[in-house]
Structure 1
Amino acid sequence: MNRVDSSQEKKIQWLEQLVGRNLLDKMLCSFSKSTGLKAILVDNKGNTLISTDHAIKDCNFCEMIRSDSNGAKKCQRSYARACTEAAKYGEPYIFRCHAGLIMWAAPILLDQYVGSIICGQVLMWEPEDYFLEEIEEMVSGLEIDVAAVKWSAAQLEIMSSDKVQAAADLLFVVANQIMQSGMTVLKQRREITAQQARLAEEIQARKRAEIAMSTVESRNFSINSLDKEHELKTLVRNGDKPKSQRLLEKLLVDILAKAPDNLDTLKTRMMELAVIISRAVVDGGAELTEVLQLNSLFYKELQDINYPDELCLWAKNMLETFMNYSETNKIQKNQQAIQKAAEFIHRNYRNKLTIEDIAQEVYLSPCYVSRIFKQGLGCTLMEYLTQVRVEQAKIMLKNPKYNVMQVAEESGFEDPGYFTRVFKKLEGVTPSRFKQYAL
């Protein structure tokens, strides 16, 4: 892409840092090649930052207009106005440039940067005499061949309003993709800056209070770190994400205070933390093979890191990934346990069942299986057992060969009186009345 060699280069470099040069080139060129329309990136003053000249050239009409310095300035003012209007409304802005051509602008808003992708150089109607006369008035004062300009205007591509709107919408998608990529980088930078600020503040606080370190204090430092690592492992295993995140930050402060400039040492300590956290996740019930795969991915990421501040963000993301996976894994296992408990109840509702019996079937503690069953189905184990028994009783009551006492016994109710009370509470009628209606 052709770029202007001016003070605008700083803006270009800033955009490339956020979005990436390859992505900017690819997005603009792909749009131009697919639509046959030239696309340029401008700032809010109408200055062209990036252009797709090598992919799609300006039409002859525009080249002649811009060959005059005053014409080029008018184009810039048109772009600046379009950029302002597009940013104001946050959507594609279709406009008519100073020379009478139809163009459109898609806004790009990144942090303090305001700009637009501008495209067009078309007509939406057949050029008639009055239009060519209007062009003659528009270009008056410019040192160009008016007859040649009018002839070039007659050769311009004519697009319907639907196609113009569709192209503007597509350009808006391109602009949004660029903004999304830029915002992702900005967010990551802010996270790194915020985390580094917190860590730096605590490190400085420690340095202000720091006294000469003796051998005993050094040993105590190591013991304290081991205690924190053990506590972190316990918190991760129990799924306590907020406390785990706070303790990890304290450990990161310890690690950075010990070897702030030795990248290899820092990477080694980070990998040790990854091993501690991954083991805790496995102890919490996660699948070992899947945890090992995650560990392998984090190890590859770690090798590509070149700055200490990126290590801290890596550690934060590593902990969050492991804990989210552990939580998802636990939810899946809980759902399986709930399903298994429900199936066990359906198979054994006639028997005298206790919570201990159900818990033993799913290999969980009575307290834990009761809690996850209530969370998952909205009722307790015993309430669910009662519902299953009542549903079975309703089926049997519809059969003439069973009386109410037989139904109560076959449904798992030892006391016919209790059966009647429970049935009426759930169904609104007694078993006898239900049987009358059913028959």
Structure 2
Amino acid sequence: MVIEESQWLGKLVEKDLLEKMLSSFSKSTGLKAVLVDIGGNTLVSPEKEIKDCRFCQMIRSDGTGIDKCRRSYARAGREAAKYGEPYIFRCHAGLIAWAAPILLDEYVGSIICGQVLMWDPEDYFLEEIEEMVKGLDVDFSGVKWAAAQLDVMSSEKVQAAADLLFVVANQIMKSGLTVLEQRRKIASQQARLAEEIQARKRAEVAIRTIESRSLRLYSLEKEYELKAKVRNFEQEEALHLLDHLLADIIGKQMEDIDTLKTRIIELLVIISRAAVDGGADLNDVLQLNARSYRELLDKKDSDEICLWTKNMLKTYMDHIEISKDQKNLQATQKAADYIRENFRQKLTIDEIAQAVYLSPCYLSRIFKQNFGCTLMEYLAQVRVEKAKTMLKNPQFNVMQVAEESGFEDPGYFTRVFKKVEGVTPSRFKQNAL
């Protein structure tokens, strides 16, 4: 997306936010930072918090000086954008400054900070300053005196200030890119809806009464399908169906925003009921409904409403997934409890699954996801833990321990125990006594 440099500031990043960021930076560092466009023109400046140094005020008192400052800022910004990192430079008047680029799809501006010295101003430097400002209508002796009064910063402090400025620039970029991404989504949604609407127009029939009835039946059918897709947690298919329904609604209520909102509320009711049927918590869904209705009232644009509706569909389906995850966790915990209570018996996966009312295949999958091991591996761990406790008791021998721990075959008990603990039961018992 190409944005004219005169427009990007107000449309992508709130000016109040920019002023607050630059003001905070200036107050914390004592250094003035300004936001400039790609031509070096100042867009935002914390003028109330910190003024230009006396040196810069004298240079900028001349129109040529202002123009040179602008060109110097523009060049530094381009260099910073080229490498995507802070760029430390010497301005046209000889002072040290640094630039942090603002990149929003393309280079749109930079933050300039300075101006300081990095060395004590000796005679040759002051003579150099006089040479660099020739051609300006300024008092040369006053300029040299002002240069001599500037703060001297070490290279480490200059680099640290440049890095901090880059953090501020990145925050601005993050804010701007969020707006850009929202615009892309709306544009993409608008394109899809426009294509769908055009397809509908090409398919219009001569008798509008018949067409109206047909479209209503079509919508009812699609709404029924949408409810089924949401309930079965088929998200991609549900989003595709919602695109068709939104195109149908927009095509008929393009000019009436209130009627559009009413139809969207009807869709949300369908979606929310399907979410509850799919396992979402009823109280969570009711709270989400209340929030969504309030949000919808504030929407003014049909494209924004459509994108918001799709995001709400995803949110409802997220609640289904959360509920499923919670139920799966409860089911696997019950399975683990059942194993710990019945480990002495000859357990099978089918028996454990039957105890928690799930299919063996599904329980095996979610148990591995939540516990990181299979049902049989967990059973072996429980039995080995019981065996370890008994092996520490002198009155039990290895065969007794194997039997009491649920192992019918002492040889199998030895193999499993060694696999889990790294030693045989006999060695473990010797070490424990």
**Match for 1:70: what amino acid?**
T
Is 1:107 equivalent to 2:98 in the alignment?
no
- Could you tell me how far apart the structure 1 residues matched to 2:8 and 2:240 are? 34
- Could you tell me how far apart the structure 1 residues matched to 2:213 and 2:86 are? 64
Residue 369 (structure 2) aligned to one of 361, 369, 375: 375
Residues 169-217 of structure 1, C-alpha deviation per residue, up to 9 Å, x if partnerless? 2211111111111111111101110111111112101211221245444
Mean CA deviation greater in 191-200 or 53-62: 53-62
Structure 1 pair 425/51, CA: closer, same or farther in 2 (3 Å)? closer
Residues 251-301 of structure 1, C-alpha deviation per residue, up to 9 Å, x if partnerless? 211221222221111111212222222222222222222222222222222
* Residues 271-420 of structure 1 aligned to structure 2 (within 5 Å): 271-355=265-349, 357-359=351-353, 361-397=355-391, 399-403=393-397, 406-413=400-407, 416-417=408-409, 420=411
Deviation at 1:426, TM superposition (A): 6.1
Local SS of the residue matching 1:126: coil
- Could you tell me how far apart the structure 2 residues matched to 1:125 and 1:244 are? 66
Contact 1:12 1:49 in 2 (8 A): no
Structure 1 pair 55/380, CA: closer, same or farther in 2 (3 Å)? closer
Residue 159 (structure 2) aligned to one of 141, 165, 173: 165
> Could you tell me which residue of structure 1 aligns to residue 215 of structure 2?
221
- Could you tell me how far apart the structure 2 residues matched to 1:93 and 1:143 are? 30
- Could you tell me how far apart the structure 1 residues matched to 2:171 and 2:161 are? 15
Local SS of the residue matching 2:263: helix
Mean CA deviation greater in 309-318 or 230-239: 230-239
> Could you tell me which residue of structure 1 aligns to residue 178 of structure 2?
184
Contact 2:101 2:107 in 1 (8 A): no
Deviation at 1:403, TM superposition (A): 4.8
Contact 1:105 1:168 in 2 (8 A): yes
Contact 2:85 2:100 in 1 (8 A): yes
Local SS of the residue matching 1:11: coil
Deviation at 1:97, TM superposition (A): 0.9
Contact 2:219 2:245 in 1 (8 A): yes
Deviation at 1:306, TM superposition (A): 0.3
Deviation at 1:370, TM superposition (A): 3.1
Structure 1 pair 426/223, CA: closer, same or farther in 2 (3 Å)? farther
Is 1:35 equivalent to 2:26 in the alignment?
no
Is 1:427 equivalent to 2:418 in the alignment?
yes
- Could you tell me how far apart the structure 1 residues matched to 2:417 and 2:399 are? 18
Mean CA deviation greater in 36-45 or 243-252: 36-45
**Match for 1:375: what amino acid?**
Q
Contact 1:105 1:117 in 2 (8 A): yes
Deviation at 1:374, TM superposition (A): 3.2
Residues 330-366 of structure 1, C-alpha deviation per residue, up to 9 Å, x if partnerless? 2233223212321221122123545465345545455
Is 1:152 equivalent to 2:146 in the alignment?
yes
Structure 1 pair 133/275, CA: closer, same or farther in 2 (3 Å)? same
The number of aligned residues is 426
Superposed CA RMSD in Å reads: 2.7
Could you list the runs of 5+ residues in structure 1 that have no partner in the other structure? 1-8
Could you list the runs of 5+ residues in structure 2 that have no partner in the other structure? none
* Residues 35-114 of structure 1 aligned to structure 2 (within 5 Å): 35-114=29-108
Identity %: 67
Residue 112 (structure 2) aligned to one of 108, 113, 118: 118
Local SS of the residue matching 1:274: helix
- Could you tell me how far apart the structure 2 residues matched to 1:428 and 1:133 are? 82
Contact 1:261 1:308 in 2 (8 A): no
Local SS of the residue matching 2:103: strand
**Match for 1:253: what amino acid?**
A
Local SS of the residue matching 1:316: helix
